[in-house]
Amino acid sequence: MYLEDPMKKLPNAFAITLLSCCMTGWSQPAREGLQTRIIINADQGQETISRHIYGHFSEHLGHCIYGGYWVGTDSEIPNTNGIRNDVVEALRGIHIPNLRWPGGCFADEYHWMDGIGPASARPKMVNTHWGGVTEDNSFGTHEFMDLCEQLGTEPVICGNVGSGSVQEMSQWVEYLNFEGISPMADLRRVNGREDPWGVKFWGVGNENWGCGGNMTAEFYADQYRRYATFCRNYGGNRLYKIAGGANSEDYNWTETLMKNIPHRMMDGLSLHYYTTNWGNKGSATQFGEEQYFEVLRRCLRIREALDRHIAIMERYDPDNNVDLVFDEWGTWYDVEPGTNPGFLFQQNSMRDALVAALTLNYLNDRCERIKMANIAQTINVLQALIFTEGEKMVLTPTYHVYDLYKVHHDATMLPLSLDSPDYTFSGRTLPAVSASASRDEHGVIHVSLVNIDPGKPISVSLDIRGADEKTVKGKILESSEMNSHNSFENPTEVVPVDFRDVKVGKGIVEVNLPARSVVVLEIS
């Protein structure tokens, strides 16, 4: 939460003196005439930034699962039980906290029993939402749980409300979580898994206002109550149930669910909001400053929507018992020319990295209510972190933001105040600078800074109050062009490097943020 006027709340005695900088090794007074001042209240942190805000989403869509994670055990691409080793290593590198699966729209036409047992005997289906391709169900429940174990991540399973049944979802929970003797636990054992996995996070349907059944909010709220009732807690595992939430700015959906679903039955309420212009999505890489500005404007607008959904939740749930779960977000452009329109494959540029960094800064700021978020989607789909092609793999600028920002996982959010200069284009303005700060379990402060202005560097002075840290180091992600991106031919066009344009003196950290850059500082 931002403090309105922290100067009034904090006496000068709280101001710290930062003595030296480990990178430059000098100390000097703050420069005059700085454009932007950020006051970080290092002694005011109360809320934890759940690591689950840094979650991911992978659907049976295009080449996210097939070719992205799953190559099969017979593949020459290095794999463990059919799952690509390079992808697992890359995702372990960013400490992926959770993975939402199997959809998305696919979830509400997926019948989980088709994806268990011997692969050769599994029935095939048509993936009607995504390209009309045949889904052979070779990647099912056991493969997904193996993937999560290899990644060291928590599964988030989205059940089928749209075309499934209460019994089907109830049995899926039993199959995954029941330890004793029961039809589903016995079936799991027949399929080679003795112990239950103990899956905690369950989505009860997806976009049930649209692809998940075109329901009214009232009808879905009633359905949720039925489905959630029969998703049982087994053993010590208490389920965390997520109600399928609103589309973008549909506040009536949020209000109706908060009103009609008893809060003891709902741990989280979701929201989906993509950064896109549905009527004219545009290219992921072929754009000028007008489209650059427009995408960032739309991204920043999501903040207002999050705040309005949160305000409704506060009204019905002032004690904060129901979390906001922002389980689909990210950029959505036209597919790359020549690719299957149903596969949603788009490139990923520095512009996407800025969208990710801006969004994550805001989710950190609202961590009191927002406890989980999932960018869409991890591999080869929409705002992907990873591209694969045959045996090749490349990491996108968005991946590198997640790598830089992993320092915020489960850290204490430090309130800050920021008066940003404007980024102006064609007479319209956006705040150019965004920031977020946290303190980790070792007492180290991290500050993530974003400058979206594509033409101007911005000097920032950080006034860190209530701490006595002495050294600063940092990393930066920047690019030569607005649309710079990584490709299989040039995988390191946009990668983080050490950041040296930082000076420390008299309680102030001074940073020169280059145009269109993301900087993460470590202050210890």
Q: How far is the CB of 382 from ligand AHR (least distance, A)?
A: 6
The reply on whether position 108 binds ligand AHR by CB under 6 A is no
- Which residue, 143 or 207, has its beta carbon nearer to ligand AHR? 207
Token digits of residue 174: 């039993």
- Which residue, 344 or 452, has its beta carbon nearer to ligand AHR? 344
Q: Which residues pair with 449 in a beta bridge?
A: 435, 519
CA distance 77 to 63: 15
| Stretch of 98-106, 276-284, 470-478, 506-514 lying at the interface with ligand AHR (CB under 6 A) | 98-106
Token digits of residue 164: 């499934």
Give residue 443's identity as a one-letter amino acid code. G
Among 269, 375, 382, 523, binds ligand AHR (CB under 6 A): 382
The reply on whether position 449 binds ligand AHR by CB under 6 A is no
Token digits of residue 51: 């690591």
DSSP per position, 273-339: EEE--TT----SSS--HHHHHHHHHHHHHHHHHHHHHHHHHHHH-TT--SEEEEEEEEE--PPPTTS
Q: How far is the CB of 275 from ligand AHR (least distance, A)?
A: 12
The reply on whether position 510 binds ligand AHR by CB under 6 A is no
Helix (H, G, I), strand (E, B) or coil at 81: coil
Q: How far is the CB of 331 from ligand AHR (least distance, A)?
A: 11
| Stretch of 167-175, 361-369, 375-383, 403-411 lying at the interface with ligand AHR (CB under 6 A) | 375-383
CA distance 477 to 457: 14
HSE (side-chain half, CA atoms, 13 Å) at 54: 28
Tell me the per-residue interface mask from 272 to 301 with ligand AHR, x by CB under 6 A, - otherwise.
x-----------------------------
Tell me the per-residue interface mask from 314 to 333 with ligand AHR, x by CB under 6 A, - otherwise.
--------------x-----
Tell me the per-residue interface mask from 399 to 438 with ligand AHR, x by CB under 6 A, - otherwise.
----------------------------------------
332-335 CB contacts, 8 Å cutoff, 24+ apart: 332/274, 332/275, 332/276, 332/281, 332/382, 332/383, 333/276, 333/281, 333/282, 333/283, 333/284, 334/281, 334/282, 334/283, 334/284
- Which residue, 206 or 436, has its beta carbon nearer to ligand AHR? 206
Which residues are tagged catalytic? 207, 328
Q: How far is the CB of 332 from ligand AHR (least distance, A)?
A: 8
Interacting residue ranges for ligand AHR, rule: CB under 6 A: 59, 103-105, 206-207, 272, 328, 376-377, 382
